[in-house]
Amino acid sequence: MSSIPLSAYLVTALLLFCMGLYGALTKRNAVIVLISIELMLNAVNVNLVAFAKYGVGASIRGQVFSLFTITVAAAEAAVGLAILIALYRNRATVNVDEMNTLKK
């Protein structure tokens, strides 16, 4: 039995999530934004695994689920980066401030 309470892990994850969110919303460099998003996904994973141990009806499923998340995150990172490079080729910048084609 572990003596560390569930909330400890949850607060850690919360902190990570908030920092990731902060990065995603304020950083201008697209690569960093992508990385911040990975951080947020990680925070979620921590929660999943923590609930796998402490949750209601705790079981191995939480871990399986986190594996799926990691896979999808990896895919996302790859595609995201590919898009970034394509964008960079067209507009010669990785600054998200200048990426405002949504407006047009």
Partner 1 sequence: MDYVWLIPVLPLLSFLIILFTRPVIYKKAGIVGTLFSGAAFVGALIVLFSHLENGNFLVEGNWLSIHALTLTVGLEVNPLNALMLVIVTLVSFLVHMYSMGYMADDERFATFFGYLGLFTFSMTALVLSPNLLQIYFFWELVGVCSFLLVGFYFYKPEAKAAAKKAFIVTRIGDVGLLVAIFLLYWQTGTLELDGIFSAAEAGELTPAMITLTAILIFVGAVGKSGQFPLHTWLPDAMEGPTPVSALIHAATMVAAGVYLVAVMFPLFTASDVAMMTVAITGGVTAVFAATIALVQNDIKRILAYSTISQLGYMMLALGTAGYTAAVFHLTTHAFFKALLFLAAGSVIHAAHEQNIHKLGGLGKKLKGTALLFLIGSLAIAGFPLFSGFFSKDEILASAFSNGSYILFGLALLTAFLTAFYMFRLYFLVFSGERERNEEIKESPRTMLIPMMVLAVLAVFSGFIHTHWFGTFLGDWLETTPYPVLFSSIDAPYWIMILASALSIGGIALAWFMYAKQSIPRNWLYGSMKEVHHVLYRKYYVDELYRTVFVKGLYALSYFWSYFDRFIVEGGATAVKGLVSQLGKTGVKVQSGQVQTYSAVAFSGLVLVLLVIAALGGYFQ
Partner 2 sequence: MNGELIVFVILFLITITGALLMLNLSKVVHMVMALVLTFLGIAGLYVMLAAEFVAVVQILIYSGAITIIMLFGIMLTKHTGEEKKTGFVKKGIVLSGITAFFLIMFFAVKDLSLGGQATTLHENNTEQIGIMLFTEYVIPFELVSVVLLVALVGAVILAKKEETKKEGEQS
Shortest Å, Cβ 102 to partner 1:
4
- Distance of alpha carbon 9 from alpha carbon 55, whole angstroms: 12
The Cα–Cα gap between 78 and 51 comes to 28
Instruction: List CB contacts of 16: < 8 A, sequence separation 6 or more.
Output: 39, 40, 42, 43, 46
CB of 103 to partner 2, least distance (A): 18
Here's the x/- map for partner 1, 1-40, by CB under 8 A: it reads as --------------------x--xxx------x-------
Nearest to partner 2 of 92, 102 (CB atom)? 92
Q: Do 27 and 40 contact (CB within 8 A), yes or no? A: no
Instruction: Name the site residues for partner 1 (rule: CB under 8 A).
Output: 21, 24-26, 33, 96-97, 99-104
